[in-house]
Amino acid sequence: DQQVKQNSPSLSVQEGRISILNCDYTNSMFDYFLWYKKYPAEGPTFLISISSIKDKNEDGRFTVFLNKSAKHLSLHIVPSQPGDSAVYFCAARINNAGNMLTFGGGTRLMVKP
């Protein structure tokens, strides 16, 4: 069973509006969470991360929120731009487990001009 789930395979948003991508996890041992962004024909690239000791991390237009009690994290993109159109993967890691990440299935974001 997948320990990290992204229940929305796709999301369509108008340029300038907010994009909210969601991710749920089941393993309470996860202590570090990351978002990766993937364009077609390219490998995933790191976007933003958050440690379990925080509930929010912000980097420019991107903010990740973590709700540990709900085992839920979300990525907010404000304002959304057409160049943000990509597949977004959330990933989680257990401390002291090397750097092995468990990935969600991905959400394809389409930002319409």
Partner 1 sequence: DADVTQTPRNRITKTGKRIMLECSQTKGHDRMYWYRQDPGLGLRLIYYSFDVKDINKGEISDGYSVSRQAQAKFSLSLESAIPNQTALYFCATSESGTGNEKLFFGSGTQLSVL
Number of residues forming the site for partner 1 (CB under 8 A):
29
CB of 103 to partner 1, least distance (A): 4
Residues 6 or more apart whose Cβ sits within 8 Å of residue 40: none
CB of 6 to partner 1, least distance (A): 8
Binding status of residue 2 toward partner 1 by CB under 8 A? yes
Instruction: By CB under 8 A, name the one of 10, 28, 51, 67 that touches partner 1.
Output: 51
78 vs 14: CA distance, rounded Å = 11
Binding status of residue 53 toward partner 1 by CB under 8 A? no
| Nearer Cβ to partner 1 (63/93) | 93
CB of 95 to partner 1, least distance (A): 7
CB of 94 to partner 1, least distance (A): 9
| SS3 per-residue string spanning the chain | CCCEECCCCEEEEECCCCEEEEEEECCCCEEEEEEEEECCCCCCEEEEEEECCCCEEEECCEEEEEECCCCEEEEEECCCCHHHCEEEEEEEEECCECECEEECCCEEEEEEC
Q: Which residues bind partner 1 (CB under 8 A)?
A: 2, 4, 6, 9, 32, 34, 36, 41-46, 49, 51, 89, 91, 93, 95-101, 103-106
